[in-house]
Structure 1
Amino acid sequence: MAKKNFLAGFVSIDDAQAAEQALNEAGFTITQVDQISPYPGEGPQQVMNPLTGNIPSLGYLTLDAEFNSKSAAILAATDVSASGMSDGDGMMPEVNQGVLLTAVVPADQAEQAEQIIKQYGGNI
């Protein structure tokens, strides 16, 4: 049987999980929700005081990222998200999507799955 893959971006993990639940209830069992980021690592795992100077980089502190080279950390710090001078207000929601819903569905039921994903705010 032919299959169709969907990769749908969501702004909120709650919306993605609700869409996944609706897909599962409709009989689509191959689904997965993940948080994604353009930056590596998980960032700080404990509260820290930046005034002490004990931070690896601005990107580590503000972007929740762990860099394996000083050059990558410096480059990431140039992102407007790292400076605190931009709150993302006015950004298109499609750009600010950090949650990915993946679904593999039978090709003959792809339209139904697509409607469910879009109903919950997914961007395919």
Structure 2
Amino acid sequence: MSEKNILAYFKSPEEAESVSRKLQSLRVVDMSIDRFSMYPGTDPYGDRNLTGMDSLSSVTFGNTIGGDAGVLAATNTSASGMSDGGQGGPTGRDILLTVVVEEESFDKAMKIIEEAGGFV
């Protein structure tokens, strides 16, 4: 049998978990719920550099991002103070429900997700 995948975005983990429970009645091959952000690898206990701060972004944004993700965050135009920004990261729908279903269950799965407010 062939399989189809669905990537659905939600506003909260609870919304995605509710949908995942409903999808269990279908022929689900695999399913996961993940949160994503503009700056991955946000380790609040990252190494500090010689200046005593994690990165420029920790000073300007007040976050605790360190390491490579801190360097990435410091490249944001809002971190330097030379711009008003305007490049906001993911807002609203930052929860990703990934579902792999058997082809015959695909339409039912899509209907369940859409009725629950998921963005596909």
Whether TM-score is above 0.5 comes out as yes
1:36 maps to which residue?
A: 36
TM-score (normalised: structure 2): 0.68
Q: Does 1:123 align with 2:119?
A: yes
Q: Does 1:110 align with 2:67?
A: no
Q: Where has structure 1 moved over 4 Å in runs of 4 or more?
A: 60-64
1:71-110 alignment to 2 at 5 Å? Answer: 72-76=72-76, 78=78, 96-110=92-106
Once the two structures are TM-superposed, the CA of residue 4 in structure 1 deviates from its matched residue by 0.6
User: Gaps (5+ residues) in structure 1?
Assistant: 46-52, 80-84, 89-93
> Structure 2 stretches of 5 or more lacking a match?
46-50, 80-84
Cα 1:37/1:69, change in 2 over 3 Å: closer
* Number of equivalences: 106
Q: Give the alignment's Cα RMSD to 1 decimal.
A: 3.1
CA drift of 1:43 comes to 3.7
Distance 2:76 2:11 in 1: 22
Corresponding residue for 1:4? 4
Once the two structures are TM-superposed, the CA of residue 102 in structure 1 deviates from its matched residue by: 0.5
Task: Give the residue type in structure 1 aligned to 2:55.
Answer: S
**TM-score normalised according to structure 1 size:** 0.67
Secondary structure at the residue paired with 2:68?
coil
Do 2:26 and 2:105's aligned partners in 1 also have CA atoms closer than 8 Å?
no
